Amino acid sequence: MNIHASATLTPAEAALVDGFAQRVSELAGDAGVALNRDNAIEAIKNGLPTRRVEAWHYTDLRRLLNAVPSFDPAARPAALKPLLEGSAVLSVSNGVGGVIASVDGVEIERFQDLLLAGDARAALAPADSADAIAAINTALVSDGFALAVPAGADIATPIELQNLQAGGQVHARFPVTVGAGARVTVIERQAGTGDTLASSVTTLDVADGAEVLYVVVQEQGEGASHLGQMRITLGKDSKLTLFLMNIGAKLVRQDLVIAARGEGSDFNLRGVNLLGGDTHCDVTMVLDHLAPHTTSTEIIRNVITDRAHGVFQGQIRVARDAQKTDAKMACNTLLLSDDAEFSTKPELEIFADDVACGHGATVTEIDNDHLFYLMARGVDEKTGRAMLIKAFLAEIIEELESEELVAVLEAKLDDWFAKHA
């Protein structure tokens, strides 16, 4: 260990480094994977990113990640009932793949096996020095699931991936590939209780003409830290709808890195973030339009109350060749308390001259005119406010085609409102 560097480590950084030293012998992987892990932990020893690193401008990870619990072998929650009835459940509990349903036509492997075989090596390296989530995950990842949907398959059964915790720290990976022309719905749940540190990295490759609905629901314990990352590539004429819901954890950072590589690909992001208490939630997206005729829309809706701090950084980059790109990004926030805070940085970086790109951002309170309209019709103020907030979010949720999914997600909203009335 580098003694000079370790002298300046924060308690959280030191806990990560020590945790690695303790667990490294149990972590799966061949020699190549081990080298990746060593490099990643070295990167952590150089310090977690501070707000001086532009990608972490509003989330000073070095300051905010102030405690890292050590791995707790006893913290093994049981698999959850899936959100959608009839889903195939693949559950990781405390970093170990346990429940494994089989799905006709989908190849499923434990990520641990890929680590042992060294097959996962290439995907392990962090993108750059600011990529703290991949660094932490690479160093400490223990298991997860790899899904491969073959070309042309139309998978009717929704697949639910669960990353479950009950304290301690867990690090999981979910590589998903969807073959050409295939169709599938995947639900990823990051759930648990206790003050867990969870890192989770999903890679999603959508091949030409494939169509994917991917739903992420983050509902970790109130004191938990969630470090999530999705790295996505989109093939020609493929279509991905990514739905994101954050209703848990105290510190959340989600990196979404999307490369629209194939001509005519279509990417849609919908995000709903409900933040209360002392939550700090940062959703950071970098979307690269790399091919002509690619389209994307992003709508993020935040409801922020108590002392919570919400962050959305969205960067759309349009490469020189990506003519006729149509990209639209919107971020709307309801700020409901005087101690709440919201920061956003909707960035555009455009190198093609024939494109339509736009972004909009609004921050406001509930519109008094709207409230008045309801109250004039006999609705009391509290109910009226609740109706307006729900309508603000439901608008996004109701875009989803599956009525069952809409009902389940709206029920999650209601649970949250009940708790943060």
Partner 1 sequence: MAAVQETIDQVRLLDVDQYKYGFETEIETDLAPKGLDEDIIRFISAKKDEPEWMLEWRLGAFRRWLTLTEPNWARVDYPKIDFQDIHYYAAPKNQTGPRSLDEVDPELLRVYEKLGIPLREQEILAGVQKDVDSEEPSDNVYASGRVAVDAVFDSISVVTTFKEELAKSGVIFCSISEAVREHPELVKKYLGTVVPTTDNYYATLNSAVFTDGSFVYIPKGVRCPMELSTYFRINEKNTGQFERTLIIADEGSYVSYLEGCTAPQRDENQLHAAVVELIALDDAEIKYSTVQNWYPGDKQGKGGIYNFVTKRGDCRGKNSKISWTQVETGSAITWKYPSCILRGDGSQGEFYSIAVSNGHQQIDSGTKMIHLGKNTRSRIISKGISAGKSSNTYRGQVSIHRRAENARNFTNCDSLLIGNDCGAHTVPYIEAKNSTAKVEHEATTSKISEDQLFYVMQRGVPEEEAIALIVNGFVKDVIQELPMEFAVEAQKLIGISLEGSVG
420 is a site residue for partner 1 (CB under 8 A): no
357 is a site residue for partner 1 (CB under 8 A): yes
Residue 48 three-state SS:
coil
For the segment 4-63, give every residue that binds partner 1 (CB under 8 A). Answer: 54, 57
Is the CB of 25 or the CB of 364 nearer to partner 1? Answer: 364
Determine contact, residues 267/240, Cβ cutoff 8 Å: yes
Question: Measured between alpha carbons, how far is 312 from 245 in angstroms, rounded to an integer?
Answer: 13
Question: Measured between alpha carbons, how far is 163 from 377 in angstroms, rounded to an integer?
Answer: 45
Is the CB of 361 or the CB of 400 nearer to partner 1? Answer: 361
130 is a site residue for partner 1 (CB under 8 A): no
Question: Measured between alpha carbons, how far is 126 from 118 in angstroms, rounded to an integer?
Answer: 16
Determine contact, residues 121/32, Cβ cutoff 8 Å: yes
372 is a site residue for partner 1 (CB under 8 A): no
* Smallest distance from partner 1 to CB 179, Å: 34
Is the CB of 343 or the CB of 402 nearer to partner 1? Answer: 343
For the segment 328-347, give every residue that binds partner 1 (CB under 8 A). Answer: 328, 333, 335-338, 340-347
Is the CB of 165 or the CB of 332 nearer to partner 1? Answer: 332
**Among the listed residues 85, 354, 369, 403, the single contact to partner 1 using CB under 8 A:** 354
**Among the listed residues 128, 365, 380, 401, the single contact to partner 1 using CB under 8 A:** 365
Is the CB of 30 or the CB of 278 nearer to partner 1? Answer: 278
**Among the listed residues 348, 371, 374, 400, the single contact to partner 1 using CB under 8 A:** 348
Only segment of 218-226, 288-296, 358-366, 400-408 that touches partner 1 (CB under 8 A):
358-366
Ramachandran class of 293: left when φ > 0, alpha when ψ lies in -120 to 50, beta otherwise: left
Total chain residues near partner 1 (CB under 8 A):
36
Residue among 134, 142, 147, 149 at smallest CA distance from 115: 142
371 is a site residue for partner 1 (CB under 8 A): no
Question: Measured between alpha carbons, how far is 267 from 154 in angstroms, rounded to an integer?
Answer: 20
Is the CB of 116 or the CB of 348 nearer to partner 1? Answer: 348
284 is a site residue for partner 1 (CB under 8 A): no
Beta strands in 239-294 (DSSP E): 239-246, 251-260, 266-275, 280-289
How many H-runs (helices) and E-runs (strands) does the chain carry?
10, 19
DSSP codes of every residue in 101-138:
---TT-EEEEHHHHHHHTTTHHHHS-SSTT-HHHHHHH
Footprint of partner 1 on this chain (CB under 8 A)? 54, 57, 318, 320, 328, 333, 335-338, 340-365
